Structure 1
Amino acid sequence: MDATESTGTAGSSNTSGNKTAGTRRWWQRAWFKWLLGSILLVVITLGIGVEYVLQHAGPIVRKRVVDTLSARFHTPVELDQLDISLFKGIEVEGTGLRLPFGSPAHTIPGPESDANAAPQSSTPRAFIKVDHFSFRTTFKGLLHEPTQIGRIQVDGMVLDLPPGSERGQLFRNSDGRNSSGGNSSGQLEPKSRVKLAFTAEEIDCRNVKLILETSNPNKDPMVFDIQSLTLTNVDQQAGMHYDAQLTNPKPRGDIHAAGHFGPWNVDAPRETPLDGDYQFRHADLNTIKGIGGMMSSDGHFAGVLEKLTVDGATDTPDFSLDISNHPLPLRTKFHAFVDATSGDTQLDPVDAWLRNTHILAKGMVAKVDHLGHDIALDVTVPSGRMEDLLELGMKSEPPVMRAPVTLRAKLHIPPGHVRVATKIELSGTLSARSITFGNPKVQDKIDGLSMRAQGRPEESRDAGSDRKAEVNSQLATTFNLAHSQALFSSVHYQVPGADIQLVGAYLMDHDRYDFRGHVKTDAKPSQMVTGWKSLLLKPVDHFLAKDGAGMELPIEISGEKKDMHFGLAHHGRADASAADIAGEMKQQPAPAASSYPPARPAR
């Protein structure tokens, strides 16, 4: 090979090498290797950062949750589990949060306990328990104190408040100081004040149960089940705003309440301030045995958890008792004091309108375990209508009487799972004036009696058959209603020309009544009739006159439902007591209207 060939071969070889170097792929170039290395470095750094956060954020969040609750409630805090997720900022979920009455390490010995004896329990009872809570924050927010939280969600919370004396004992050490670092007044000592590590704009709670323990060992605690509770403007000094939804068990209905709660009273939680407005809707009175109707109520309350003053109003357009099933409109305004330590409510007063009847009442509604409520009220009807009261409590239609009425009575509804009409007790006095009767036949009999008693027999036939009211009558009575029967120990009934004194009974379940007594008339017997009958009766005028009256006779007024029978009483029946009359009515079956009662018709 000559020199020329050697040179050419070498040149060809160099050209091929340069071409290979010039066509190198992009991922083989140096800049990509530098970029890839940088990305790997960032990922490694982020991984280290995430690992650091995961290792340190949990303890930071746990400490801030515990410190905040300890500072606010002056009690140790127990937390079973806390989980943190970093997919969307910092998401925190916790379970098993408890705030016990006192420190687990501190037990209070009894008055006869041995100082060397083992502690009775290392797990005190919790007064706040939370099943699950969650919230979200940011990396930046976590680095600042206090940590700002927009919304905390809570599911399953129990707030169990014991009587004040028990709470104070559990929180005080043997030297009288608060076990959480506070003094006996419930305020933190200055040296142990803890700055809140968390602040929240809103706390959204579901399935909340509030339990107010009673100091009376014979009574169960008051329990309120709250479906939803939203707390906003959460502030340690000024308290917070709340909005709650709950279902009232009896009468069953929906309650919405909103107002202010707090600030929290550390040493006496039951004395924490509470106020607000409520709306009670679709309250079904049929869930209470013996009464019916759909009630709504609005009102305002203020005070502390264990004792509230309530001002409100109710509206029940179709209130009824099952004994009559005559719906009447009922409206009330009330002022009440609710004592949550016993579950009792003092009503002072209740201002009610039953259609056209004005009713005033005051008294107590006491809670009785497992049986309901014991209601004892003083009732006054300063201005009412007899037909309203009769229509509410009697099956007869139309009402037996119509008249303006006044009433003073004591109302007692004992506890028990029976109809209200069966257990209601009412005793007092009632007076009515300008009475007219709903049944035209009855009114005609009263009109005819009045005309004869006045000595106007010639007018009695027309007055007793025209189906119109010629006379008004007056009534005053003393009564006692209990066990579905009303006993009338005194009935003073007056019509022009006649004065009637009666005793009697009314059986509510059977709508039957029986009254017996005496009637005194202004006219003598001979003056009550005309023609030859008048002449025949003149010799007996002297024998029937008594105590200045023209005549006195034993009478009986009895009936069933719409039928009333008025006549002379049989010998001895007019002098029976109200209790004896009721006993006789119960022993005998209800007779047919045509044959009841065995009374001689008046002539």
Structure 2
Amino acid sequence: MNATGEERVVVEERRRWWRRRWVMWTGVVFVGIAIAGALLVAWGLRQIQPMLRKKVVETLSARFNSPVELDRLSLSMTKGILVSGGGLRILYLAGPTKPDSRPNAPPMLSVDNFEFGAGWRELIKPTTRLVTVKVNGLRVNIPPKGNRGDLDNPKRRGQSALGIVVDRIECTDAKVTLETNKPGKKPLEFAISSLVLTDVGAKKPLNYTAVLVNPKPVGNVRSTGHFGPWQDDNPRDTPLDGNYEFTQADLSSIHGIEGILASKGRFAGTLGEIAAEGVADVPAFRLDVSEHALPLHTEFRAVVDGMTGDTRLESVRARVGHSELTASGSVTRAVGAPGHTTDLHVVMERGRIEDMLTLSLKGSPALMRGALATKTHILIPPGPVSVSRKMRLEGTFSIHDALLNNEKMQQQLNAMSERARGNPRLANAQDAETVSSSLSGTFSQADAVMQIPQLEYEMPGAQVTMVGQIELVGSRYEFHGKVRTAATASQMTTGWKSLLLIPFDGLLKKNGAGVELPIQMSGVGSAYDLRLDFPHNTGISVGATSGPK
């Protein structure tokens, strides 16, 4: 009984020993297989790496017909194969002959880093299809047309099939530079914070979603649309279309104006001629020479040269406050200085003078209100000076049904009108009729000073012709001219004063006017001083002074 039990114990111990040995050897085998597998994978990666590197270089070289440099490319196992690389440079987008290049010219396309994932089978296929490629630090430098080489070479048209096809490219921190060989002109740069390209193919349009950093005014532009196919023989003919949205753009980055702009619209055409239309709103638009803001709404149609950035404004309809205007012109890159030159022809047929005074002068309320019509040529050259100071204006204007916003000043004007018509007994605040005035003339502006060489002012009973200027900075103005009245000197007064002036009526009459006298008007903001203007100023006032000077 005991011997039999001991035998069973021995047998059980032998079984356990063999099980442990089997488990141990099985583990050793699995470890060996794993090591062998890892070595095989490492060997496979080492074998695939040069093959893939060659495929990348040959694909890009065939696509752009250019030498391609690739500093690094590595493979790792992460749910398949993860390929990463960097230091990619396509030297020039040209024909088989290297174009004449400038000393130390940058490569036409470079990438700091890229990565993509793929399976084993996909990598060893003759044409590898990649679902997504992530790119960081993309730089595109497009030289002037004369330095692009032989793009229209027949050999390009028969290039070999591409070894890699990409469905989607995701780019971050990209920049496109359009260089120029014109003296004094700086390259045009576009900073792109993010760019997603889908349906990428050499012979068909690709879809894109881009977020661009606009330098002036500072803000982000989000755009979606289609681009391509790229026209090798003439890049300007490459098709482009899309929609854009420009929000929270701070206009204070343009020296001299303030406000937050929002704009949206669409565009279509080619890189050489992009037709765009859209709307833009600035809820509180302000010039630095004034303390007041007005809402600005704009609808526009324009044609943009995508290779130079020059813009032709075909039609601009704007509303500033309650004033409506139309404009046409151009915005072109300046020669010899950074920035752009804006050249506009503006027509305002339904304007309000109070809106223009509110924007351009600090006084509050505006000196007058009334209907305004004007035709103006506006030229804004480049430079760091504020817009209000460097802006140059030249044009004509007319104001109808004008009333002064200061009640006391309007009462004085009413009284002057009654006297000028020969109704001195009505020339008081209670009985005088409220009269409106009309103004017309020509003007020009430079260095924030508006010159008015011709000003015609009319109110019932009187006509005034003047010349003068307005300083936008400080809101100072000064005018000199003459006033002509319908009534004679004696008809503008009552009682004994009228009798005393009768002998002088003949002396004061001139050119058919009852009285013609020299006058001057000066002031700051809404305050003004109106007085006689004899060669040696006697300081005699005509009784129209308002507010502190």
State the distance in 2 between where 1:365 and 1:335 align. 13
* 3-state SS of 2:199 partner: strand
CA displacement at 1:495 relative to structure 2: 0.6
Counterpart residue number, 1:275: 241
Counterpart residue number, 2:279: 313
Does the aligned pair in 2 maintain the 1:317–1:328 contact within 8 Å? yes
**Residue 393 and residue 18 in structure 1: after superposition, are their counterparts in 2 closer, same or farther (change >3 A)?**
closer
Counterpart residue number, 1:601: 542
Q: Does structure 1 residue 205 correspond to structure 2 residue 186?
A: no
* 3-state SS of 2:534 partner: coil
What amino acid does structure 1 have at the position aligned with 2:541? R
* 3-state SS of 1:57 partner: helix
* 3-state SS of 2:498 partner: helix
Does the aligned pair in 1 maintain the 2:65–2:96 contact within 8 Å? no
What amino acid does structure 2 have at the position aligned with 1:548? G
State the distance in 2 between where 1:194 and 1:254 align. 40
Identity within the alignment, %: 38
CA displacement at 1:48 relative to structure 2: 6.0
State the distance in 1 between where 2:363 and 2:35 align. 91
Q: Does structure 1 residue 298 correspond to structure 2 residue 270?
A: no
State the distance in 2 between where 1:21 and 1:240 align. 75
Does the aligned pair in 2 maintain the 1:127–1:161 contact within 8 Å? yes
State the distance in 2 between where 1:414 and 1:400 align. 30
Q: Equivalent of 1:137, from 118, 122, 130?
A: 118
State the distance in 2 between where 1:34 and 1:137 align. 36
CA displacement at 1:410 relative to structure 2: 0.9
* 3-state SS of 2:384 partner: coil
Counterpart residue number, 1:480: 444
State the distance in 2 between where 1:107 and 1:205 align. 28
**Residue 109 and residue 60 in structure 1: after superposition, are their counterparts in 2 closer, same or farther (change >3 A)?**
closer
**Residue 602 and residue 44 in structure 1: after superposition, are their counterparts in 2 closer, same or farther (change >3 A)?**
closer
What amino acid does structure 2 have at the position aligned with 1:502? M
**Residue 87 and residue 286 in structure 1: after superposition, are their counterparts in 2 closer, same or farther (change >3 A)?**
closer
State the distance in 1 between where 2:9 and 2:376 align. 119
Counterpart residue number, 2:419: 452
Does the aligned pair in 1 maintain the 2:264–2:278 contact within 8 Å? yes
Counterpart residue number, 1:552: 516
TM-score, length of structure 1 as denominator length? 0.82
* 3-state SS of 1:142 partner: helix
What amino acid does structure 2 have at the position aligned with 1:424? M
Q: Does structure 1 residue 77 correspond to structure 2 residue 68?
A: yes
Counterpart residue number, 1:531: 495
State the distance in 2 between where 1:50 and 1:496 align. 100
Does the aligned pair in 1 maintain the 2:93–2:148 contact within 8 Å? no
1:62-110 deviation digits (Å, cap 9, x = unpaired):
2332333234333332212110112421110111111121689955579
Does the aligned pair in 2 maintain the 1:569–1:600 contact within 8 Å? no
* 3-state SS of 2:192 partner: strand
CA displacement at 1:344 relative to structure 2: 2.2
CA displacement at 1:152 relative to structure 2: 0.8
Does the aligned pair in 2 maintain the 1:214–1:341 contact within 8 Å? no
Counterpart residue number, 1:582: none
CA displacement at 1:559 relative to structure 2: 1.7
State the distance in 2 between where 1:43 and 1:53 align. 15
State the distance in 1 between where 2:98 and 2:210 align. 36
* 3-state SS of 2:219 partner: strand
Alpha carbon RMSD of aligned pairs, Å?
A: 3.0
CA displacement at 1:45 relative to structure 2: 5.8
Counterpart residue number, 1:65: 56
Q: Equivalent of 2:403, from 427, 432, 436?
A: 436
Does the aligned pair in 2 maintain the 1:216–1:342 contact within 8 Å? no
Larger mean CA deviation between 415-424 and 34-43 belongs to 34-43
State the distance in 2 between where 1:571 and 1:291 align. 42
Q: Does structure 1 residue 393 correspond to structure 2 residue 393?
A: no
**Residue 103 and residue 260 in structure 1: after superposition, are their counterparts in 2 closer, same or farther (change >3 A)?**
closer
CA displacement at 1:18 relative to structure 2: 11
1:497-541 deviation digits (Å, cap 9, x = unpaired):
111111111122222211111111111111111222222222221
1:276-310 deviation digits (Å, cap 9, x = unpaired):
11111111111221111111111212233344222
State the distance in 2 between where 1:365 and 1:316 align. 20
What amino acid does structure 2 have at the position aligned with 1:24? R
Q: Pairwise mapping of residues 223-262 of structure 1 onto structure 2 (< 5 A)?
A: 223-262=189-228
Q: Equivalent of 2:254, from 276, 288, 299?
A: 288
State the distance in 2 between where 1:108 and 1:452 align. 83
State the distance in 2 between where 1:436 and 1:344 align. 43
CA displacement at 1:395 relative to structure 2: 0.9
Counterpart residue number, 1:521: 485
Q: Does structure 1 residue 86 correspond to structure 2 residue 77?
A: yes
Aligned length: 540
CA displacement at 1:543 relative to structure 2: 1.6
Counterpart residue number, 1:95: 86
Does the aligned pair in 2 maintain the 1:91–1:134 contact within 8 Å? yes
Over alpha carbons, which structure has the higher Rg? 1
1:313-333 deviation digits (Å, cap 9, x = unpaired):
110010001111211000111
State the distance in 1 between where 2:533 and 2:12 align. 138
Larger mean CA deviation between 540-549 and 319-328 belongs to 540-549
Counterpart residue number, 2:547: none
What amino acid does structure 1 have at the position aligned with 2:505? D
What amino acid does structure 2 have at the position aligned with 1:79? L
Counterpart residue number, 2:325: 359
Does the aligned pair in 1 maintain the 2:185–2:338 contact within 8 Å? no
* 3-state SS of 2:511 partner: coil
Does the aligned pair in 1 maintain the 2:261–2:280 contact within 8 Å? yes
What amino acid does structure 2 have at the position aligned with 1:85? S
Does the aligned pair in 2 maintain the 1:152–1:204 contact within 8 Å? yes
What amino acid does structure 1 have at the position aligned with 2:52? V
Does the aligned pair in 1 maintain the 2:65–2:94 contact within 8 Å? no
State the distance in 1 between where 2:298 and 2:100 align. 52
Q: Pairwise mapping of residues 100-249 of structure 1 onto structure 2 (< 5 A)?
A: 100-101=91-92, 106-107=97-98, 125-169=106-150, 171=151, 177=153, 181-182=155-156, 188-189=157-158, 193-249=159-215
CA displacement at 1:479 relative to structure 2: 0.9
* 3-state SS of 1:403 partner: strand
* 3-state SS of 1:398 partner: coil
CA displacement at 1:351 relative to structure 2: 1.0
1:130-153 deviation digits (Å, cap 9, x = unpaired):
111000011122233432322111
State the distance in 2 between where 1:373 and 1:392 align. 23
Counterpart residue number, 1:24: 14
Q: Equivalent of 2:526, from 528, 543, 562?
A: 562
**Residue 451 and residue 426 in structure 1: after superposition, are their counterparts in 2 closer, same or farther (change >3 A)?**
same
**Residue 18 and residue 528 in structure 1: after superposition, are their counterparts in 2 closer, same or farther (change >3 A)?**
closer
**Residue 109 and residue 157 in structure 1: after superposition, are their counterparts in 2 closer, same or farther (change >3 A)?**
closer
**Residue 151 and residue 102 in structure 1: after superposition, are their counterparts in 2 closer, same or farther (change >3 A)?**
closer
1:222-247 deviation digits (Å, cap 9, x = unpaired):
11111111111223322211111132
